[in-house]
């Protein structure tokens, strides 16, 4: 939802370590992170602070999975990757390595996918490298079965 970025981020996990020197908090073990309608499940989460703010959250897992409700009543957008980087201030979620996003009838797979969590816009692949090839699968409207959310 558009208001997601104004919500606090809550994190549940088995253990956590706060490292003062590197200004990071590391959460490990069945990590569930929630901000508004954005849910992320991962094995590990590292929160990076800058000037007293959570600047970047890095999720890793096999795989890390996320879902968000773009707007009220709409179907959830879901995605997964080996690594996810979330920038709360930029409303940007970058999925890296074996990344896939399911949005409506489309599925986007690439090495790198950028997802704008404010406007629910998916941008797959990256200009720099060819290796970030993109495969898009758009189901024809009438034959589209309800894609089971992973």
Least distance from other proteins to the Cβ atom of residue 37, Å: 14
- Min dist CB 99 to other proteins, Å, is 24
Nearer residue to other proteins within complex by CB, 10 or 142: 10
Confirm if 7 and 35 have CB atoms less than 8 A apart: yes
Give the containing element (helix H, strand E) for 137: strand 134-138
One of 42, 43, 54, 130 touching other proteins (CB under 8 A): 54
Instruction: Determine, following the binding rule CB under 8 A, whether residue 116 of this chain makes contact with other proteins.
Output: no
What is the rounded distance in angstroms from the CA atom of residue 82 to the CA atom of residue 33?
16
Running DSSP on this structure, what letter comes out for residue 127?
S
DSSP 50-106: ETTEEEEEEEEEEEEEEEE-SSTTSPPEEEEEEEEEEEGGGTEEEEEEEEEEEETTE
| Binders of other proteins in range 69-98 (CB under 8 A) | 88-89
21 touches other proteins by CB under 8 A = yes
User: What's the closest the beta carbon of residue 140 comes to other proteins, in angstroms?
Assistant: 40
Q: How far is the CB of 87 from other proteins (least distance, A)?
A: 11
9 binds other proteins (CB under 8 A): yes
Q: In 3D, which of 67, 2, 72 has the Cα closest to residue 33?
A: 67
> Toward other proteins, which CB reaches closer, 61 or 125?
61
Strand partners, 66: 40, 79
Residues lying near other proteins in the complex (CB under 8 A) are found at 5-23, 25, 27, 35, 47, 49, 52-54, 88-89
């Amino acid at each position: 939802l558009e208001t997601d970025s104004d919500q606090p981020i809550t994190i549940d996990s088995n253990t956590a370590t706060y490292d003062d020197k590197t200004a990071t908090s590391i959460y490990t073990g069945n990590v569930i992170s929630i901000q508004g309608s954005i849910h992320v499940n991962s094995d590990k989460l590292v929160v990076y602070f800058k000037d007293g703010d959570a600047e970047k959250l890095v999720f890793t897992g096999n795989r890390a999975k996320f879902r968000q409700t773009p707007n009220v009543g709409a179907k959830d957008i879901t995605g997964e990757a080996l690594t996810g980087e979330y920038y709360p201030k930029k409303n940007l979620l970058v999925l890296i390595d074996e990344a896939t996003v399911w949005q409506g009838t489309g599925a986007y797979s690439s090495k790198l996918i950028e997802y704008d969590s404010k406007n629910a816009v998916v941008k797959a692949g990256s200009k720099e490298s060819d290796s970030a090839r993109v495969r898009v699968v758009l189901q024809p409207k009438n034959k589209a079965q309800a894609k089971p959310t992973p």
